[in-house]
Structure 1
Amino acid sequence: MTVQPPENSPSPVPPGGLRASHDEREAVVARLRDAAAEGRIDLDELDERLERALSSKTHGEPAVLTADLPGPVPSQDRPPLLLRGGVQGVSRGPGRWEVPGHVIAHGGLGGVKLDFTRVECRLAEVVVEAYGEMAGVTVVIPDTWAADTGGIDPGIGGLKDRTTPDRLPGTPLVRLTGSGGVAGVVVRHPNRRERRKPHD
């Protein structure tokens, strides 16, 4: 005997009909920009696809926009980057360096500075696990990136978030976790001296 579903029960939604999230739309935007940089699509087609991606409502819509493109370069499988300030301190950047999905920074006695301002990063999100310890950790991100500091314990030294929420679609979100320790953790955009430096 066939059992009929109740009249008011919702109809099953096909996979492509599920609602798309902000992060999923931004991932498609990043892939389209990469494809344009690789010469796979021209700028006019990029503009058209970006407009459709940003206005998409369901999974099926952005999937069509990247169906004829190869998959993104796998980056999350890289091991975490571990930086220890030690006695002398350590820094990574500015300049071009390969960004993994997870960075662990221990301020130690010398401090750690992590500068993302001139990197090429295809990840939608980078987790920075920062421990200020005795000398602190400073994270510098481009003006177009944004930071989420909700996962960090301020500790004694505190957390100073000097970034703006004006994230450009398709750029990474830096998600901070860890603890401020004694000296604290700072996340900010480049200062005047750092902005001038590439032009010197």
Structure 2
Amino acid sequence: MNDERPEKPLPELRASDADRERVVERLRDAVAEGRIDMEEFEERLETAYTSKTYAELEPLTRDLPAPGGPPMPLAAAAPAPVAADGSWASRIGGGGVPASSSAAVAVMSSFQRKGAWTVPPRLDAVAFWGSGDLDLREANFAEREVVINCIAIMGGIQITIPPGVEVDVRGFGFMGAFDQRDTPGAVAPGAPRVVVTGLAFWGGVEVKVKPPKRPKPLGGGPKLRKEL
């Protein structure tokens, strides 16, 4: 007798609690990734917990990528042109410099990334009852397009970018906010593209545009001679 079960469950089979929880977990990820909003999440969540068969569960994640699979392309990125002065050309691709950690987490604490660090292709930033500071003004970029996925729960994350960088803010705020106060202006030739997505729940994510800091002159500059 052959007891093998089909690879894909038959639609009419009854779903288990574990099946429903797997669907709910995928829906939570979809909210954090900015693929569905909170209203749609609540609707699908209610359907998931009341579903009795696979036929009722399957449509809830049909339009979402498989967990652990490759991310869906955000946009077709054109090859990065070389800036006239070579400034961005030397900062994209890392030039052999390994990318920084792909996660920054603050739980009732804080994290900070500033100075000469490398932004990975995808950075997950989480602030839970805490704060985070991501300063990209002097950073290198592992790729021309990077994604910063922010989860701010009763906390805040601030992202500072230099002028000329292309920014795409897609995050969703539920009793919270994704705030882009400044515009980066015209996109500089060869500049990277930063996609900011995620969820702010009773918290906030703020994107600011500031020019890089100017180095201080050695010796503190000329001093006036004191007359006796």
TM-score by length of 1: 0.58
C-alpha displacement at 1:84, in angstroms?
0.9
| 2:176 paired with 1:157 | yes
Please tell me whether the aligned partners of residues 136 and 182 of structure 1 are also in contact (alpha carbons under 8 angstroms).
no
Counterpart in the other structure of 2:104:
83
In 2 relative to 1, CA 79–114 (structure 1 residues): closer, same or farther, beyond 3 Å? closer
Instruction: Please show how residues 95-174 of structure 1 align to structure 2 within 5 Å.
Output: 95-121=115-141, 123-149=143-169, 151-164=170-183, 165-174=185-194
Classify the secondary structure of the residue corresponding to 2:130.
coil
| 2:216 paired with 1:199 | yes
Runs of 4+ in 1 over 6 A off after TM superposition: 72-75
C-alpha displacement at 1:146, in angstroms?
2.3
C-alpha displacement at 1:124, in angstroms?
1.4
Equivalent residue letter for 1:186? E
| Structure 1 residue ranges without an equivalent (≥5) | 1-20, 38-71
Please tell me whether the aligned partners of residues 99 and 118 of structure 2 are also in contact (alpha carbons under 8 angstroms).
no
Counterpart in the other structure of 1:176:
196
Counterpart in the other structure of 1:185:
205
Classify the secondary structure of the residue corresponding to 1:128.
strand
Equivalent residue letter for 1:178? G
Partners of 1:140 and 1:118 in 2: CA distance: 10
| 2:78 paired with 1:24 | yes
Partners of 1:78 and 1:35 in 2: CA distance: 17
Partners of 1:34 and 1:190 in 2: CA distance: 17
C-alpha displacement at 1:118, in angstroms?
0.8
C-alpha displacement at 1:28, in angstroms?
3.5
| Structure 2 residue ranges without an equivalent (≥5) | 1-74, 218-228
C-alpha displacement at 1:154, in angstroms?
1.8
C-alpha displacement at 1:22, in angstroms?
8.8
Please tell me whether the aligned partners of residues 89 and 190 of structure 2 are also in contact (alpha carbons under 8 angstroms).
no
Bigger Rg over Cα: 2
In 2 relative to 1, CA 35–137 (structure 1 residues): closer, same or farther, beyond 3 Å? closer
Percent identity over the alignment? Answer: 25
Bigger fraction of residues in helix: 1
Compute the RMSD of aligned alpha carbons.
3.4
Please tell me whether the aligned partners of residues 77 and 145 of structure 2 are also in contact (alpha carbons under 8 angstroms).
no
C-alpha displacement at 1:122, in angstroms?
5.5
Partners of 1:36 and 1:158 in 2: CA distance: 34
Partners of 1:129 and 1:80 in 2: CA distance: 13
Please tell me whether the aligned partners of residues 80 and 101 of structure 1 are also in contact (alpha carbons under 8 angstroms).
no
Partners of 1:132 and 1:199 in 2: CA distance: 35
Equivalent residue letter for 1:160? D
Classify the secondary structure of the residue corresponding to 2:150.
strand
C-alpha displacement at 1:23, in angstroms?
4.0
Please tell me whether the aligned partners of residues 155 and 184 of structure 1 are also in contact (alpha carbons under 8 angstroms).
no
C-alpha displacement at 1:177, in angstroms?
1.1
Partners of 1:179 and 1:189 in 2: CA distance: 21
Q: Number of residue pairs matched? A: 139
Q: Deviations over 1:101-145 (max 9, x none)?
A: 111101112211111011133621110000111111111111121
C-alpha displacement at 1:88, in angstroms?
2.2
Partners of 1:153 and 1:134 in 2: CA distance: 14
C-alpha displacement at 1:156, in angstroms?
1.3
